[in-house]
Structure 1
Amino acid sequence: MHFKAKFLATAALSLVISTAAQAQSASDVVATVNGTDITLGEMIITRAQLPQQYQSLPNDVLFTGILDQLIQQQLLADQLEVEPARVAIALTNEARSLRAGEVITAITDGAVTDETLQAAYDERFAGAEPATEYNAAHILVETEEEAVAVKARVDGGADFAETAREVSTGPSGPNGGDLGWFGAGMMVAPFEEAVLALEVGDVSGPVETQFGWHIVKLNETRAQALPTLDDVREELTGQLQSSAIESRLTELQDAAEITMPDEGAFDPEVLINLDLLKVE
């Protein structure tokens, strides 16, 4: 065949294959078992529901494995002559759950936009004052008497960091007692109260906590920057979605006719009575 003819034939074949791939739909029949069709959509759903450890397998391996699985399931399902009540009940529950999930997805998708995120961010942080962060060091000892002696040494001119390295029993001792930066609520209450009472450069008197006795030095303070929208985007997204779902459920419940059982009509222990599923 002439080169140009071969090229055109190859191109035409590629076009046919590409067109066929594009034309595939969820209703396409992949296999038939005793007259029951297995569709491409059923395979796609099965693929999406696989445990995470199987998700990374090559698609050609998954295609064969999933098709084999569905064929085997259909062969076994065909052997069921009488369908137990529990199967129909489970299918009802599954259908209800799937339909509810679709509605939830629609609600949550509509709840989060650039505008709603910005409004939620502004509502939370409009007028908010930056929190204060503290940089402090401490010397931890076991008794009040030791703490009083440490305080006297520091007041007498001893270097705080050197004294901490020498006598502090806490893990920060080798680092001169340095605790780094922390905000409100990050330290135990007596320690935090002592820090808040200090001016920068001041050294506290003995402070007792469950860890022992502390002498605290406030090194520095700074204003903690407010988080940006990107910092809290995930949190705000979750809040907007939850709020939208709760709001919609309230609307639906208010508009619905819901009949509830009388108190005591059912013993809660009945939920574990699987024998009830055998009698319908």
Structure 2
Amino acid sequence: MKRILMSGAMALVLSAPTYADGHLDGETVLATVNGEAITIGHLIAMRQMLPAEYQTLPDQVLFDGMLEQLIQQQVLAEAAEAGELSREIELGLENERRAFLAAMFMDDVAMAELSEDDLQAEYDAIYGEAEPVVEYNAAHILLETEEEAQSMIDQLAEGADFAELAAENSTGPSGPNGGALGWFGAGMMVPEFEEAVFGLEVGEVSAPVQTQFGWHVVLLNETREQAPPTLEDVAAELEDSLRRARVDARLEELTQAAEIERPEVEIDPAVIRDQGLIAE
């Protein structure tokens, strides 16, 4: 479809033939190339394989572009088949056929209907016993030395404003914003910083905290409990997970049932670059 927007192709507008009663089906012929039919079915199958960015094009644009593309492909394919096909082309065709059939089969597996019970069971397995997650809202002043950090703490004890000190002294990117870090949960900050935050009471300022970034003075503003997401919130994510699991399970089942032999042959992996092995 790289040439679907080609100006010459877009100029072609063909109307699909109909039966006497106006009925169309997948076998309705749109064009013939040296006697080889191109049908509505060919266009439908082609559209299903288009990248997402083409799927949103107007139907008329897609219809005209795909039909012209198929006509051109048929002309070129016939020219290629006029002579003896090289082994390289035969191997490429085998790979394309294998890949296409595999993709279509696994797509059917993945897209089989999912029931509400399936989604509910997956949700219960993941979130059914999940406890609310504690989140923290904190600010910090990042400094180069412990002495500087202690100086900030002393000034705060004397009534200095935390946000003003952060804006004037912090070397971190949050400094201009008063040192505000927003909301975060466990695992989102470096361990030493988290340990200090988790040990504070709301409104309390930490002792100097050293991390790989320097020395921090931390203020815990508030905490909250974040409840697990609802089924509605994560339905799309769960559906994707279930579909991937179906594919993995079916692939594993088929692979286990297949007779697969791997001859013990010593091969230099660089052989995949030797085009001469398939040239004729």
TM range (shorter): 0.7 to 0.9
Q: Contact conserved, 1:32 with 1:38, CA < 8 A, in 2?
A: yes
- Structure 2: where are the runs of 5+ without partners? 1-17
In the alignment, is residue 28 of structure 1 matched against residue 28 of structure 2?
yes
TM-score w.r.t. structure 2 length? 0.81
State the distance in 2 between where 1:238 and 1:52 align.
17
Matched residue pairs, number? Answer: 261
Percent identity reads 51
> Which residue identity is paired with 1:158?
A
Instruction: Name whichever structure is richer in helix by fraction.
Output: 1
Q: Scaled by the length of structure 1, what TM-score is found?
A: 0.81
Partner of 2:275: 274
Question: How far, CA to CA, are the matches of 2:133 and 2:53 in structure 1?
Answer: 44
Q: 1:202 aligns with which of 178, 201, 204?
A: 204
The one-letter code matched in structure 2 to 1:246 is D
Say which SS state the counterpart of residue 181 (structure 1) adopts.
strand
Asked if the contact 2:131/2:227 (under 8 Å) is kept, the reply is no
Contact 2:136 2:184 in 1 (8 A): yes
> For structure 1, which runs of at least 5 residues remain unmatched after alignment?
1-15
Between structure 1 and structure 2, the one with the greater Rg is 1
Are the structure 2 counterparts of residues 167 and 104 from structure 1 closer, same or farther at C-alpha, using a change threshold of 3 Å?
Answer: same
CA distance in 2, matches of 1:82, 1:175: 71
Q: Which stretches of structure 1, 4 residues or longer, exceed 6 Å deviation after superposition?
A: none
- Cα displacement (A) at 1:124: 0.8
RMSD: 2.6
Answer whether contact 1:111 1:240 (CA < 8 A) is retained.
Answer: no
Alpha-carbon offset, residue 111 of structure 1: 6.7
Return closer, same or farther for 1:122/1:51 CA change in 2, 3 Å cut-off: closer
SS in 1 for 2:43: helix
1:146 shift after superposition: 1.2
Deviation at 1:205, TM superposition (A): 0.8
Structure 2 Cα separation of the partners of residues 18 and 218 of structure 1: 78
Residue 112 of structure 2: SS of its match in structure 1?
helix
1:130-141 to 2 correspondences below 5 Å: 130-141=132-143
1:44-59 map, 5 Å: 44-50=44-50, 55-59=55-59
Find the counterpart in structure 1 of residue 9 from structure 2.
Answer: none
Q: Give the Cα separation in 1 of the matches to 2:110 and 2:55.
A: 26
Tell me if 1:183 matches 2:188.
no
The match for 2:222 is: 220
The answer on whether the counterparts of 1:130 and 1:224 sit within 8 Å (CA) in structure 2 is yes
